Amino acid sequence: MSAESTARVTRTTVNARKLWAGGVATAIVAALAAVVGVLAVRGPIDIPVITPPHTPWDSQVATVAGYAAIVALVATGLLHLLLLFTPRAPTFFTWIGVLATAAAALWPFSVEGTTKSQIASGVIYLVIGLAIVTLLSGVGASAQNTLTSRT
């Protein structure tokens, strides 16, 4: 009598098309969150938003929205690499994203500006970062496929 091997091998793959489509959608949401945040702060309460001094854009709205979209796409690339090469990729991605968001939200307090401007800018960057992290966490989970085979 021979015993047949019934060991199972589990392998996780990444659906890159789904991941990057979600990443582009996240970039759009991040850019729109930036536009809403800047307009809400500059319009009704007339507080300037703190942005980097040298940017390729002429307005604060375009600057914050452009960087938000770029950050979302860079975060998608990071998530893709983590999904391919690390164990527990979602956990690492969440930690990296939350810490990067905290750094972005605290950055306005390290440059010259009024306290109101620093707080308003920090809140805008916090909302953008949390949107990126939460949306991409969901995208990453749906882009993973677990395959189980018998050996």
Can you list the alpha helix ranges (DSSP code H) found in 16-59?
A: 16-42
pTM: 0.87
Beta bridge partners of 12: 146
The predicted-structure confidence for 94-138, as pLDDT tens digits, reads as follows 999 999 999 999 999 999 999 999 999 999 999 999 999 999 999
What residues contact 7, with CB distance under 8 A and at least 6 apart? 150, 151
CA distance 113 to 49: 9
Task: Please report the beta strands in 1-143, taking only residues with DSSP state E, as ranges in sequence order.
Answer: 8-14
- The pLDDT, as a whole number, for residue 147 is 55
CA distance 49 to 8: 55
The predicted-structure confidence for 35-93, as pLDDT tens digits, reads as follows 999 999 988 888 999 998 888 878 899 999 999 999 999 999 999 999 999 999 999 99
